[in-house]
């Protein structure tokens, strides 16, 4: 009897100790609030599976979503127990080398959970969560450990389980070069989509999912788990079908969830930049934003050819004409494509040998005498192996002639005939290009890239990238060109990933090469796009003949490409957008306002201007009868004095826009 009572007592003590421990390690949730307490991340382990959820203002946005991986040797997503919890808080303000603001605040609270397999190999996984005022982010860490050294990820089991059936703005995966029209469909109708994917539902916050600091990993896509509101990560595969070849210790990219109450605030989030590492280039004095022109549009119009011949665009005297124009109108550079051997078959590019009619020394000496730079071009045709063999020598060759910016290209469905741009193979190659270019003090404009993830903070010589259905589609696309609403969508989708080399500012709407394809905007909207679509290297795309004698061109010549402040007075995805930016080198402001096919009457409160100061507003607006289909050219140019107390009327024609230069007196 005594022994039975003693056994019961021991059992009671054991249960008393064990149950709280089990609750702590298996079921207890851990909350992480943003600095303003409006966004809440809840994380923990349930039935051996790590999970998280995210809410804003007590509205559940991402419901319980599970985390983990599938390795080649089996699942790594269950049978975990919580081993350690850490918390941090962080607040700094840092200055980007260039950007949309001169200073960026990085303020977050952090929760770090270490989980370990209860049985078997006892492998560990660390999950880092950060809560910002504009969203949530998390990433995985594979710490150095005996039983997890080299391994293969077959897929990532990260879920984004939406609590509501949002609509989503997305393009499908795979999309060649990410050059597609974003469409709006219900989340339940998504198959697999490229990030960023932006979500919209009336009465609910706006949400955009992407990634940050993509380093030696595969790009993120989102796959629907079966006509549901639950999306799961789908990593871009290697040609072998594997996703990531991994060696610990290693971090995955951050999974980012921007959450804002207004569409305009999506464009002001700097969370992705904050999740990248600080600048690794000690001397950044050679990195200079600027405007440029090029012979490129003439090639699309079939006025010039890339390859050598009677209409060769990169002929010395033709390039000098463009240099003269750039000098006259204070453009920083002239982009020249088709200058080197190899354009005849696209498989034998030689980045060290100019065509005979392209005298690079004469051209660069002439450009230097006029304070203009030649912008170089490396089209690889997707042959990364050959490019990497020549890359150092090619950058040294350019630097010899004072070329410090290069547009790279990868016009091929697959890199080296088999690998996707967003695969781990592609990510490794693009990083190698950026790091090599940085050593040679070369700025890069990357076309046919992987989707950007904020690397420009770490390597600000990565100036801009394509990865968007740009204005070139208005020159040769069989579907007739970009629709009028296209540029009211991409700032909220592709634009959230980073600067876009969209190449706006086409002034001639007659397409001599494909008459049924055209630019679907008014001329005033082309001016506005120079402000709306951010790029620190901003190209005025048209042939110089189409700018000569046009008073509207003065707006382009005045517009800078580096800013100290950005505000977004009007924004609705796919409808309209107004962006106002302050020049980093003066007290002047620039406005771009655009609409889709629908005309707009908007009111702009000028309270962003310095109080007590007077500005001259140089206004370039749609003229009488302007219409993106029937009457694209009318522009009315006005000047008026304004102050911070004034309200400016923005009247936008169908497919139209307005550009305003506020010059402080």
164 in any annotated domain? yes
Of 217, 241, 274, the position where a domain reaches its end is: 274
Residues 355 and 216 in one domain: no
Residues 335 and 202 in one domain: no
CA-to-CA separations, 649 to 286, 559, 658, in angstroms, rounded = 41, 21, 10
DSSP annotation string for 385-424: HHHHHHHHHHHHHHHHTT--EEEEE--SSSBTTTB-TTSH
Residues 285 and 329 in one domain: yes
179 in any annotated domain? yes
CA 584 to mean position of chain CA atoms: 21
Q: Are strands 333-335 and 290-294 parallel, antiparallel or unpaired?
A: parallel
Q: What is the CATH number of the domain that holds 163?
A: 2.70.98.10
Catalytic site includes residue 100: no
Based on the structure, what is the number of domains in the chain?
Answer: 3
This prediction's pTM: 0.95
Task: Give me the catalytic one of 58, 472, 545, 639.
Answer: 472
297 in any annotated domain? yes
Residues 400 and 525 in one domain: no
502 in any annotated domain? no
Q: What is the CATH number of the domain that holds 308?
A: 3.20.20.70
144 in any annotated domain? yes
Q: What is the pLDDT of residue 27?
A: 58
Successive 10-residue mean pLDDT values, the chain, 665 residues? 44 41 59 98 97 98 98 95 98 98 98 97 98 98 97 98 98 98 97 98 98 98 94 98 98 98 98 98 98 97 96 98 98 98 87 97 98 98 96 98 98 97 98 98 98 98 98 97 98 98 98 96 98 98 97 98 98 98 98 98 98 98 98 98 98 98 97
Residues 175 and 45 in one domain: yes
Residues 268 and 284 in one domain: no
Residues 267 and 302 in one domain: no
The H or E element containing residue 465 is strand 462-465
* Other beta carbons less than 10 A from residue 371's beta carbon: 10
The H or E element containing residue 360 is helix 360-369
Residues 297 and 413 in one domain: yes
For residue 352, give every residue at least 6 positions away whose Cβ sits within 8 Å of its Cβ, in sequence order, or none: 340, 390, 393, 394, 397
Q: The domain containing residue 380 runs over which residues? A: 278-467
Q: What is the pLDDT of residue 347?
A: 73
Residue 338 contacts residue 380 (beta carbons within 8 Å): no
């Amino acid at each position: 009897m005594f022994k039975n009572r003693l056994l019961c007592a021991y059992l009671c003590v054991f249960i008393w100790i064990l149950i709280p421990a089990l609750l702590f390690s298996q079921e207890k949730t851990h909350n992480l609030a943003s600095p303003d307490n409006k966004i809440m991340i809840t994380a923990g382990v349930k039935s051996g599976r790590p999970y998280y959820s995210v809410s804003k203002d007590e509205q559940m946005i991402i419901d319980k979503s599970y985390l983990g991986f599938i390795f080649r040797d089996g699942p790594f997503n269950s049978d975990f127990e919580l081993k350690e919890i850490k918390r941090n808080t962080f607040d700094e303000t840092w200055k980007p080398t260039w950007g949309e603001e001169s200073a960026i605040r990085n303020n977050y609270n952090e929760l770090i959970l270490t989980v370990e397999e209860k049985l078997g190999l006892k492998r560990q996984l660390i999950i880092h969560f950060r809560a910002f005022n504009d969203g949530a982010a998390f990433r995985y860490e594979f710490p150095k450990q005996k039983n997890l050294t080299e391994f293969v990820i077959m897929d990532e089991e990260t879920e984004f389980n939406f609590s509501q059936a949002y609509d989503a703005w997305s393009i499908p995966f795979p999309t060649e070069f990410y050059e597609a029209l974003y469409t709006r469909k219900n989340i339940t109708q998504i198959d697999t989509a490229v990030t960023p994917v932006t979500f919209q539902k009336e009465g609910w916050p706006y949400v955009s999912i992407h990634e940050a600091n993509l380093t030696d990993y595969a790009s993120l896509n989102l796959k629907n788990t079966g006509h549901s509101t639950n999306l799961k990560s789908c990593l871009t595969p290697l040609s072998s079908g594997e996703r990531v070849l991994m060696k610990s210790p290693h971090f995955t990219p951050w999974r980012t969830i921007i959450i804002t109450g207004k569409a305009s605030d999506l464009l002001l989030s700097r969370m992705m930049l904050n999740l990248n590492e600080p600048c690794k280039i000690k001397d950044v004095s050679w990195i200079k934003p600027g405007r440029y022109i090029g012979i490129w549009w003439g090639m699309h119009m079939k006025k010039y050819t890339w390859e050598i011949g009677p209409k060769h665009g990169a002929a010395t005297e033709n390039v000098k004409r463009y240099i003269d124009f750039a000098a006259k109108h204070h453009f920083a550079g002239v982009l020249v494509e088709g200058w080197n051997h190899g354009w005849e078959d696209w498989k034998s590019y030689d980045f060290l040998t100019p065509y005979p009619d392209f005298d690079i020394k004469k051209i660069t000496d002439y450009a230097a005498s006029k304070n203009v730079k030649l912008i170089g071009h490396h089209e690889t045709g997707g042959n990364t192996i050959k490019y990497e063999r020549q890359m150092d020598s090619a950058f040294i060759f350019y630097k010899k002639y004072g070329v410090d910016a290069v547009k790279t290209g990868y016009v091929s469905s697959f890199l080296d005939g088999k690998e996707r741009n967003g695969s781990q193979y592609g990510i490794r190659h693009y990083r190698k290009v950026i790091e090599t270019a940085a050593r040679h003090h070369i700025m890069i404009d990357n076309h046919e890239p992987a989707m950007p993830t904020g690397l420009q903070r770490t390597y600000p010589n990565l100036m801009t990238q394509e990865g968007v259905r740009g204005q070139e589609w208005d020159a040769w696309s069989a579907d007739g060109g970009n629709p009028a609403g296209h540029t009211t969508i991409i700032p909220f989708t592709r634009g959230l990933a980073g600067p876009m080399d969209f190449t706006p500012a086409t002034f001639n709407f007659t397409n001599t090469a494909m008459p049924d394809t055209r630019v679907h905007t008014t001329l005033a909207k082309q001016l506005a796009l120079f402000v709306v679509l951010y790029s620190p290297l901003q190209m005025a795309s048209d042939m110089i003949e189409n700018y000569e004698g046009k008073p509207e061109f003065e707006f382009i010549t005045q517009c800078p490409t580096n800013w100290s402040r950005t505000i977004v007075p009007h924004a609705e995805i796919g409808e309209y957008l107004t962006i106002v930016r302050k020049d980093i080198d003066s007290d002047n402001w620039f406005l771009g306002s655009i609409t889709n096919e629908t005309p707009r009457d908007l009111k702009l409160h000028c309270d962003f201007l310095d109080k007590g100061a007077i500005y001259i507003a140089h206004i370039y607006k749609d003229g009488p009868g302007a219409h993106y289909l029937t009457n694209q050219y009318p522009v009315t140019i006005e000047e008026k004095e304004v102050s911070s107390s004034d309200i400016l009327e923005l009247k936008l024609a169908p497919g139209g826009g307005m550009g305003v230069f506020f010059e402080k007196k």
